[in-house]
Structure 1
C-alpha cells in the first residue's frame, strides 16, 4: 500500500500530522533523509516552515490542510475531478466529502454556526476541478440558515431529497447521513430495514473509503 512520507523540523506539525494521519487511517512513515525516498511514498508532508525539496511535497499550514491536499496525489492523481460536500441539516449538522466517488471524510459539527468556516476550509484545502454542495431538504429552519450562511462561499448549492439517508435508525448519525446526501445519485444504496450492520460496516458497505481506494493504487 502507498504511504505518506513526513519530513519536518517543526515539532508541533510533526506531532499533529502523526495524530491526524492515524485518525484518518492513512499509512505513513517518517523520513530521515531528503534523498532516496521509498518508491511507495507518493507524497511528502512538511510544515510551511520547512524547506521544499521535492515536487510531490506539500508544505502545509496545518495537518488537516496537508492531508486534504495530499489525497489526490496519494491516489496517483494531480487533482480530483469533482468534490461534493454533503450537508445533513440540523442543530448538529453532518458534513461529508466525496471526492471522485471516494468518501474522504464525514463528521458532525457541534454548532450550526461553524458549518460555513469548515466548508471554506474544505474548499481551500482540497485539489479539484469542480466543487459543489448537496444539502438535504429536511429540517427547513436549519437548512435555510445553513444555505444563507453558505451562499457567500461561492460554491454551487443543490437541495436534494434526503429520504432514506437516516436508515436504519439504530446506527444513524448525522455524519453518515451527510455522506449519503453527498453520494445521492451516485453510489449510495439505501440499506434494507432488516439488515444488521454496525457503524463501521455501513461505511465499508456503502462507500469507497480512503483505505479501500489506496489499496487499489499500484
Structure 2
C-alpha cells in the first residue's frame, strides 16, 4: 500500500484463499485502489490484515465474496491504516449516469469510486459505511443532473440516511481529469441544505432522449429503447439493462 495514496500505513494487507475467482477479484480491486499487497499460499501465516473467503476466515480476518469485493477491500484498507472508528462519515455524490462517490472520515478523504449505475447507490453507501464504525453519517448530493439527483435523494431518504443537497457551483473549480471523483470530493467537503422529503420525478424530453442514447451505447448500437421504456427507467421502475431486454 502506498503512503501517498492512503495517508500512512500501519499494517500490511495480504490475500489468502483457495478460491481462484475470489483471489482474482480481490487482486484486481486492490490494484485499482493502488494498494501494495501480498499473495499468500494456503499454509502461510500472516499477522497483519488478511482478506480471505468466509469459509476460510478466522477471528480478525476479513471475509470477502464476489458480491462484497469493494466493501471487503475498503475494510482492509481502513484496518491497514488503523482507522476503525470515526465520529462522522460524510459521503459526497456527483450525480450522473455513472455517479462519482467520495467518502470522508472526520474530514479526511479515505476513498472514492465511480459507479456504473445509480439503482443501488444507497445500498452501496451503506455497505461502504460498514467498514468504519461511526457515530453519525450523512450524504451530500450535488444539485446537477436533476432527475438523477432526485432519484438518488429518494433512495437515500427511503433508507433512512441523512441527506443534504449541495450547490455544485461551489465545487466547480478543479482538474477535468477524473472530474466526477474530484467533484464528489468537493461536494463532500462543502456545506449543504438538509433534504427531508421525497422528490417528485419529472423527466424531461431531454432526460428520456439521454436514456435512449445510453441504451444504444449499452446495446453496441443494436437498438434504441422506446420512449415508454425510457420513461420507466427514468422513474426507476426498470434498470436500463432490463429495458434493453424488453425492447
Q: Do they fold alike, i.e. is TM over 0.5?
A: yes
Measure, in 1, the Cα distance between the counterparts of 2:63 and 2:166: 37
Measure, in 2, the Cα distance between the counterparts of 1:63 and 1:110: 15
Answering whether residue 168 of structure 2 is matched by residue 162 of structure 1, we say yes
Residues 10 and 157 (structure 1), Cα distance of their counterparts in 2 relative to 1, 3 Å cut: same
Residues 77 and 94 (structure 1), Cα distance of their counterparts in 2 relative to 1, 3 Å cut: closer
> Any conservation in 1 of the 2:83–2:132 contact (CA below 8 Å)?
no
Measure, in 1, the Cα distance between the counterparts of 2:140 and 2:35: 26
Residues 79 and 139 (structure 1), Cα distance of their counterparts in 2 relative to 1, 3 Å cut: same
Partner secondary structure for residue 184 of structure 2: helix
Residues 27 and 82 (structure 1), Cα distance of their counterparts in 2 relative to 1, 3 Å cut: farther
Partner of 1:100: 106
Regions of 4+ moved over 4 Å? none
Measure, in 1, the Cα distance between the counterparts of 2:162 and 2:119: 19
Question: Structure 1 unaligned runs (5+)?
Answer: 186-218
Answering whether residue 75 of structure 2 is matched by residue 69 of structure 1, we say yes
> Any conservation in 2 of the 1:85–1:182 contact (CA below 8 Å)?
yes
Partner of 2:133: 128
> Any conservation in 1 of the 2:174–2:182 contact (CA below 8 Å)?
no
Partner of 2:31: 22
Partner of 1:180: 186
Higher alpha-carbon Rg: 2
CA shift, 1:143, in A, is: 2.1
Partner of 2:62: 58
Partner secondary structure for residue 163 of structure 1: helix
**Match 2:147 to one of 141, 144, 151:** 141
Measure, in 2, the Cα distance between the counterparts of 1:110 and 1:72: 24
CA shift, 1:115, in A, is: 2.6
Measure, in 1, the Cα distance between the counterparts of 2:150 and 2:176: 27
* Aligned Cα root-mean-square deviation (Å): 2.5
Measure, in 1, the Cα distance between the counterparts of 2:71 and 2:121: 17
> Any conservation in 2 of the 1:88–1:136 contact (CA below 8 Å)?
yes
**C-alpha offsets along residues 52-95 of structure 1, whole Å, 9 cap, x if unaligned?**
1xx43112233222111223311123333322111112344222
CA shift, 1:141, in A, is: 3.4
Greater share of residues in strand: 1
Higher relative contact order (CA 8 A, sep 6+): 1
Residues 150 and 8 (structure 1), Cα distance of their counterparts in 2 relative to 1, 3 Å cut: same
Residues 76 and 107 (structure 1), Cα distance of their counterparts in 2 relative to 1, 3 Å cut: closer
> Any conservation in 2 of the 1:83–1:128 contact (CA below 8 Å)?
no
